[in-house]
Amino acid sequence: MISVLLTDDHALVRSGIRRLLEDSGQVDIVGEANCGEESLTMTQSLNPDVILMDVNMPGIGGVEACRRILERDPKQKIIVLTVHSEQTFPKRMLEIGAKGYLTKECAVDEMIEAIKQVNNGKSYIATSIAQQLALSLLPGNGENPIDRLSRREFQVMLMITNGLSNIEMSDKLCLSPKTISTYRLRLLEKLDAHNEVDLIKIAVEQGMVEFAHSG
């Protein structure tokens, strides 16, 4: 039986995934986290074989949670499970060290197969995601503006699109408000944006955020 920590900020989503996975008889959901911070503490206390990690969650979010978990334990096995299928998120999460990437449209059989493969030390990327990543490397496809951002700039942009203030970001990321302001200015410059409205438009275009937050 593979022990799994499930992270998602929607209780109904967690309940549905738990039922589907536990009904298979191959997976044991040992815990449920509803935010990035909770996933950190539960990972440390429960030591699951595999973590199913949502991306858009309250607090530090799934991207930063994934980074901190792997910084503390590089051997931890994380599969991203999200609504985001555009290449921006898969590329970032795999660079951080996630071992798998699935969208919430996947079949339960594929989810179980991904968990089994990742638990066995392999990687698993949904076919559609792998195709996007491969196509992005071909000549003539143009540069994705989000690729210009550093890891921290990417994280700050995610928090801006989620409506966090400078003070809130300062608290979540353990940075000074002045440093957060500097990151904001860098974002505007690198993305050729005039204000936060422009940043949010770019984020929507790149699949970083959806109007009906469900990720």
Q: How far, CA to CA in Å, does 119 sit from each of 35, 109, 116, 143, 197?
A: 23, 15, 5, 34, 41
- CATH number of the domain enclosing 155: 1.10.10.10
DSSP H helices, 36-162, are 36-46, 61-72, 88-96, 108-119, 127-136, 151-161
Tokens of 129: 């995601």
CATH of the domain at 74: 3.40.50.2300
**196-208: pLDDT as tens digits:** 888 888 877 776 6
What is the distance between the alpha carbons of residues 50 and 3, in angstroms, rounded to a whole number? 7
Final residue before a domain boundary, out of 110, 136, 162: 136
pLDDT at 151 over 60: yes
Side chain identity at residue 92, one-letter code: R
Same domain, 24 and 118: yes
Task: Write out pLDDT tens, residues 103-112.
Answer: 888 899 999 9
Domain count of the fold of the chain: 2
pLDDT at 211: 39
The pTM score is 0.72
**28 and 65 housed in the same domain:** yes
Q: Is the pLDDT of residue 135 over 60?
A: no
Phi, psi of 33 (to 5 degrees): -115, 140
What pLDDT, in 10s, does the model give residues 12-60? 999 999 999 999 999 999 999 999 999 999 999 999 999 999 988 888 8
Q: Which of 2-16, 82-96, 130-144 has the lowest mean pLDDT?
A: 130-144
**H or E element: which one contains 4?**
strand 2-7
Listed residues 136, 162, 186: the one ending a domain: 136
Segments forming the whole domain that contains residue 99 = 2-136
Q: What are the DSSP calls for 37-55, one per residue?
A: HHHHHHHHHH--SEEEE-S
Asked whether the predicted pLDDT for residue 88 surpasses 90, the reply is: no
Distance between CA atoms of residues 18 and 32, nearest Å: 9
Q: Which of the listed residues 116, 136, 156 is the one where a domain comes to its end?
A: 136
CA Rg value for the chain: 17
Whether the Cβ atoms of residue 173 and residue 180 lie closer than 8 Å to each other: yes
Angstrom CA distances, 44 to 40, 41, 47, 84, stand at 6, 5, 6, 27
Closest to 51 (Cα-Cα) out of 108, 94, 8: 8
In a domain, 189, yes or no: yes
